[in-house]
């Protein structure tokens, strides 16, 4: 179980920009891992209203149950994460996660949201490459697939928002990448799912 403050800047990329950045940063297929995010909310979308995101992330070596809670600005989140031993897509959260041991569910309970209120709202699979640019900056390049869409995104996770924003802006400028603000993955996935349902 962990709580940490995450400061990240995001920018959508074209496929060509994504491929160029992989090459420039010397990231190869060996550096890319696949992860699947399964997103949850209440029936009436309380988490969406609060701009919070709740997901199970299936990684090659572990399974994370994470709640992202927005902080004072649009690029800083409190991340509350439980590590799970297993997760079965055919079973409910309630059947698999012990509420008494979950920091995520404890936080939600304090917001009057119970595990029984939560339902799956969609999923997304990402091929992710990461590279530390310096001790304060992690570069993340994502190719995400959801409901017939593939998109490409650059994320920059930083320890200091003032220095981090400048680093992010400089990185985009140095690589001739236009600023294309990116919504959170959960928002992009959910919008696409609603489009195809219409």
pLDDT one-digit tens code per residue, 10-21: 999 999 999 999
The string of DSSP letters for 128-174 reads EEEEEEETTEEEEEEEEEETTEEEEEEEEEES-HHHHHHHHHHHHHH
pLDDT in tens, 75-111: 899 999 999 999 998 898 999 998 889 999 999 999 9
Reported pTM? 0.92
Please name which of 120, 121, 91, 97 lies closest in space to residue 109, comparing C-alpha atoms. Answer: 97
- Read off the DSSP letter of residue 45: -
Cα angle value 33/35/40 (rounded, 5°): 165
Model confidence pLDDT, tens digit, residues 129-150: 999 999 999 999 999 999 999 9
Q: Is the dihedral of CA 94, 97, 101, 106 positive or negative?
A: negative
The DSSP code for 62 is -
Q: Hey, what are 91's tokens? A: 């079973």
How many Å from the N-terminal Cα to the C-terminal Cα in the chain? Answer: 39
pLDDT of residue 148: 96
Residue 1: per-residue pLDDT? 64
**Structural domains in the chain?**
3-197 (2.40.320.10)
Q: What per-residue confidence (pLDDT) applies to 72?
A: 83
Give pLDDT, residue 162.
87
**What pLDDT score does 74 carry?**
81
pLDDT at position 89 is: 87
pLDDT value at 127 more than 70: yes
């Amino acid at each position: 179980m962990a709580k940490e403050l995450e400061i990240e800047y995001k920018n959508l990329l074209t496929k060509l920009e994504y491929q160029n950045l992989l090459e420039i940063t010397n990231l190869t297929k060996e550096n890319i891992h696949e992860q699947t995010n399964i997103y949850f909310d209440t029936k009436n979308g309380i988490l969406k209203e609060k701009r919070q995101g709740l997901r199970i992330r299936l990684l090659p070596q572990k399974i994370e149950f994470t709640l992202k809670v927005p902080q004072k600005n649009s690029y800083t989140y409190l991340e509350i994460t439980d590590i799970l031993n297993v997760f079965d897509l055919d079973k409910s959260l309630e059947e698999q996660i012990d509420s008494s041991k979950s920091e995520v569910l404890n936080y939600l309970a304090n917001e009057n949201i119970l595990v029984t209120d939560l339902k799956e709202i969609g999923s997304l699979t990402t091929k992710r490459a990461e590279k530390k640019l310096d001790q304060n900056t992690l570069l993340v390049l994502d190719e995400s697939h959801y409901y017939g869409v593939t998109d490409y995104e650059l994320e920059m996770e930083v320890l200091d928002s003032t220095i981090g924003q400048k680093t992010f802006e400089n990185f985009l400028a140095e690589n001739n990448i236009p600023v294309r603000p990116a919504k959170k993955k959960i928002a992009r996935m959910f919008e696409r799912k609603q489009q195809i349902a219409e």
